[in-house]
Structure 1
Amino acid sequence: MTPPVFSHGSLRLYLLSLLAEQPRHGYELIQALSDRFGGTYSPSAGTIYPRLAKLEEDGLVQKAADGRKTVYDITDAGRAELNAREGDLTMIENEMSDSVRRLADEVRTGVNAAMKSLRADLAAAAQQAKTDAKEPAAEESPHSHSARLLREADVVLNEFRQQVRTDLRTLAARSPIGPETVDDLRRELAGVRSRLLDSLRR
């Protein structure tokens, strides 16, 4: 089971630290947290707003209307709590660094596993194509034989596509997918395509 990004009470204190930097809308707090985690984690509105409401209830933050949005700002009492718990905040920031590395590893592992599966499937399909080309079925013409193998390759690719989409959506449900993940995927796919073409040209 994946451990939580923030331990109990840590997110509340970290929200205070973000508001100590400057007043923010709820969405800006979500974005600031996502930025601190390099895009590997983004809390939901359902996670942030109840904690802001509790902070306001405790007199640690105050809110004001800004057009159609609500801006939250830290109070003197909030700054006093933040100063009193400076050591806890340092510990939270250290835990965040560990969480960023763990989340990045999970994303990377999911993508790498999918890429290994694709390479194995395509290698098997290419090898089968070579074997079948040497020993075509007596009742099959070269054209129909090639068409059948093409359909098999399509099935392999479609299965891989669905697998990767499922893996990415599962990971994205826990934390946003960063640009480096897309870059890794694009690079790996280009490499697989190049190796497949080399295999087919032999």
Structure 2
Amino acid sequence: MPPVFAHGALRLYLLSLLESGPKHGYELIKALSERFGGTYSPSAGTIYPRLGKLEEEGLVATESEGRRTNYRITPAGLVELNRRRDELAGVENDISDSVRRLADNLREDIRANMRGLRADLAATAEAARSSARSAGFPDRGPRRTPESERTLKEAEMQLQAFRDGIRVELRVQASTSPISQVTLETIRAVLDQARISIRNSLKADRN
């Protein structure tokens, strides 16, 4: 996978995050994770060396607050940031592209996992059926047969895949613009209707 940030871009973006006020390392990591919609979260080993380099160059300064170390942008850092505003806009565009790319990769991982789980379930169900036939188990009516167990697992996987897919979509959207109240109400209404429809179908299965 290509790097998330081009050479020097993360250091510039850290300066932009500090423009709004001092922050400690965890806050910067959290801010970056939120900007990427949860699809990427830099490690402490990625952030702190770059902050240390910025401090060496006089672009940020540190302040102690209890056991925490806060980082703030210096006047020289502001000059550097203002000088590279156009470059920062390019970094923002690159981040948006990275979010989409990472989200696509995550969706493909989900689909691949679903395919693997289906194959495993099919193999397990077939093995259970073969074992039951070999043991000569009689048909005792409505019980959890291998087939019904496979159907249950398939339904659970479908629900999990739906949740994971929508979660990715929401995080990608939130990384570029807020989720509107209309969207939230739509989610509630659609899920309520889905719940009713599924319950009605389950009720029909029992009859």
Measured against the shorter chain, the TM-score band is: 0.5 to 0.7
Amino acid at match of 2:102: L
Partner of 2:113: 114
Distance 1:140 1:59, change over 3 A: same
Q: Is the 8 A contact 2:39 2:99 kept in 1?
A: yes
Does 106-115 or 50-59 show the bigger shift?
106-115
> Map of 1:13-162 to 2, 5 A cutoff?
13-122=12-121, 124-125=122-123, 128=126, 136-137=133-134
- Output the CA distance in 2 between the equivalents of 1:45 and 1:125: 42
- Output the CA distance in 1 between the equivalents of 2:124 and 2:53: 60
Q: What SS is found at the alignment partner of 2:64?
A: strand
Q: Is the 8 A contact 2:125 2:146 kept in 1?
A: no
How far the C-alpha of 1:142 sits from its partner, in A, is 6.1
- Output the CA distance in 1 between the equivalents of 2:169 and 2:113: 17
- Output the CA distance in 2 between the equivalents of 1:128 and 1:3: 41
Aligned-pair RMSD on alpha carbons? 4.3
Q: Is the 8 A contact 2:59 2:73 kept in 1?
A: yes
TM-score in terms of structure 1 length: 0.65
Q: How many residues align?
A: 169
Amino acid at match of 1:38: G
Q: Percent identity?
A: 56
Distance 1:147 1:36, change over 3 A: closer
Q: What SS is found at the alignment partner of 1:71?
A: strand
How far the C-alpha of 1:128 sits from its partner, in A, is 3.9
Q: What SS is found at the alignment partner of 2:19?
A: helix
- Output the CA distance in 2 between the equivalents of 1:19 and 1:147: 58
Distance 1:49 1:128, change over 3 A: closer
Q: What SS is found at the alignment partner of 1:113?
A: helix
> Map of 1:163-178 to 2, 5 A cutoff?
none
TM-score in terms of structure 2 length: 0.63
Partner of 1:170: none
Amino acid at match of 1:90: A
- Output the CA distance in 1 between the equivalents of 2:63 and 2:124: 64
- Output the CA distance in 2 between the equivalents of 1:93 and 1:42: 16
